[in-house]
Chains A and B, each alone.
Chain A
Amino acid sequence: MIRDITLGQYFPGKSPIHRLDARTKIIGTFLFIAEMFVVNNFWGFLIAGTALFTVIGISRVPLKFIFRGLTPVFLIIAFTFVINMLMFDGRVLWHWWIFTITYEGLIRAAFMVIRLVLLIIGSSILTLCTKPIALTDGLEKLLRPFSKIGVPSHEIALMMTIALRFIPTLMDETDKIIKAQQARGADFESGNIFRRAKSLIPILVPLFISSFRIAQELALAMEARCYHGGEGRTRMNEIHFNKEDIVAAVLMTIFLGIIIGSRFIA
């Protein structure tokens, strides 16, 4: 189940989207997220959705991957839909006990769900088409100007790199521990919620200890190679803006204009 989360999982490729500078993609994604809150009618979502799926098409990431990222958040989406559906006054379509569904509620619920789905897909494109390392490098560069006012841009980027780097390691570790405890007859699937929560202890304790061990080993290895923070550190691969990034920037600006324009349709 843990393996189904696409967020933070890179899908290797050589498409123009993959080749864009990470900074362009980060800014683009944040812009897209902001734009989703600017949109105030379904036309806007239609335009945004078309643009989003065009980008997915160009990136050549299979749709299966993109939608798999939605499955873990399905509950949240369903919850949003139900809450919105029940919380709006207006033309009553259905009524039972304390529950009332209105026409406006339904529209509102659909609107919120579309927004949520677009937000999730939009942000997973960033992580699907950008190597985690490129992503943190990009973020470090973007945050660099703020280091003057005390934002530790290098440290933030390093922490993210390490966190991303250890997601697969810790997942493997969890998998191994689960299997080892299963081999000792542990049962994680039956019983009520308290029993199940308690059955997690044999997984969590060893996982915690392993994380500390891994962290300590990494810290030692870094110190042994003279790591002393970001000051004066050079990098092997400098990142540059290319022609493609300029094209992307122009397209993104046009898109922003269209989205703002869409507010005035109908």
Chain B
Amino acid sequence: MSIEIKNLKYVYNPGLPGETVALDDVSLTISEGEMVGIIGHTGSGKSTLLQHMNGLLKPDSGHVFVDGECITDDKTDLVDIRRRVGLVFQYPEYQLFEETVVDDVAFGPKNLGIEGEELKKTVREAIEIVGLDYEEIKDSSPFELSGGMKRRVAIAGVIAMRPSVLILDEPTAGLDPTAHRDILSMIRRINEEKEITIILVSHNMGDIAKMCDRVIVMENGKIVLEGRPREIFTQDALLESMGLDVPPALDIMRKISKSIDGFTSSALTLDEAAEDIKEFMKRKK
């Protein structure tokens, strides 16, 4: 499923002292099956953009098309759009409210009118795809779980609606390294096994470089750069001027290239970096 955004503009508090232009003439296309990363400094308009993609916010001008259907019309069925475009907010574990994990995950599909065996199957599938053990966890209270597990339950709650696009806002924020890794491999699994289009917002450039096919850079409500991770992250000066980093692997490889003669590498991820170093060692021998 594709999302197409045309000349989107959105202003917070129009006419009041706190007036801010959050989105300024934003246009972009996301095609089926892609994994797209959105990066940008805090307040660059990323979250506002995400909320337009499933109709939570209505633009002041411009249009959003989901699969060719304009969702900025008044007559669109927003619940159906929200089913197709799943949005996982930052710290999604703060929206858990049910007594058991199963009930919480079932909240979304229930709102869509799914019942009985179908509901059970959907919930079970969602819990399994996020990497949790259904039998073990189904009757526990979501509030007793660890941070990383809570987050996975919350994400399962969105996946249970069987979206064809999944938007994740900072899905790894505040997690320990293990939970962080688990969440990333879970996202990859969802993208590959379920063929769900993924839109990933993150401040972690390493994650973005590792995961995404395409990166969109936002600043002051505008899209300033767009391209493959390599095209984006090689423009360090520009990124730095926007308060953004390059992936740590790239940073380290640059430093090593400077101090060791004959070594060059533009690896973006740790795996690529290891490969380049191995190559270099072989040549030296």
Contact = CB atoms under 8 A, between A and B. Distances in A.
A184 B94 contact: no
A12 interface: yes
B151 interface: no
B94 A179 contact: no
Interface in A118-167: none
B75 to A, nearest CB: 16
A201 interface: yes
Contacts of B95: 177, 180-181, 184, 202, 206
A189 B118 CA distance: 27
Nearest to A181: B95
Given A185-B112, A185-B161, A206-B97, A180 B89 contact: yes
Contacts, number: 57
Interface of A: 11-12, 173, 176-177, 179-187, 201-202, 205-206, 209-210
Contacts of A205: 97
Interface string B136-153: 000000010000000000
Given A184-B108, A184-B111, A185-B111, A179 B89 contact: yes
B87 A183 contact: yes
A179 B54 CA distance: 11
Interface of B: 17, 51, 54, 56, 79, 82-83, 86-89, 92, 94-97, 107-108, 111-112, 143, 157-158, 161
B240 to A, nearest CB: 30
Contact of B157 (A184, A187, A201, A210): A184
A185 B54 contact: no
20 contacts: A176-B94, A177-B94, A177-B95, A179-B51, A180-B89, A182-B56, A183-B56, A183-B86, A183-B89, A184-B82, A184-B108, A184-B157, A184-B158, A185-B112, A186-B111, A187-B111, A201-B97, A206-B94, A206-B97, A210-B94
Contacts of A180: 87, 89, 92, 95
Contacts of A201: 97
Contacts of B51: 179
B142 to A, nearest CB: 10
Of the listed residues B79, B97, B143, B158, the one surrounded by the most CB atoms of chain A closer than 10 A to its CB is B97
Nearest to A177: B95
A128 B158 CA distance: 41
Contacts of A11: 17
A68 to B, nearest CB: 10
A182 to B, nearest CB: 6
Contacts of A177: 94-95
Q: Which of A12, A183, A201 has the most CB of B within 10 A?
A: A183
Residue with the greatest number of chain A CB neighbours at <10 A, chosen from B89, B95, B96, B158: B95
Contacts of A202: 95, 97, 107
B62 to A, nearest CB: 20
Given A12-B17, A202-B107, A209-B143, A183 B158 contact: yes
A148 to B, nearest CB: 42
A185 B94 contact: no
Nearest to B154: A180
Contacts of B86: 183
Contacts of B108: 184-185
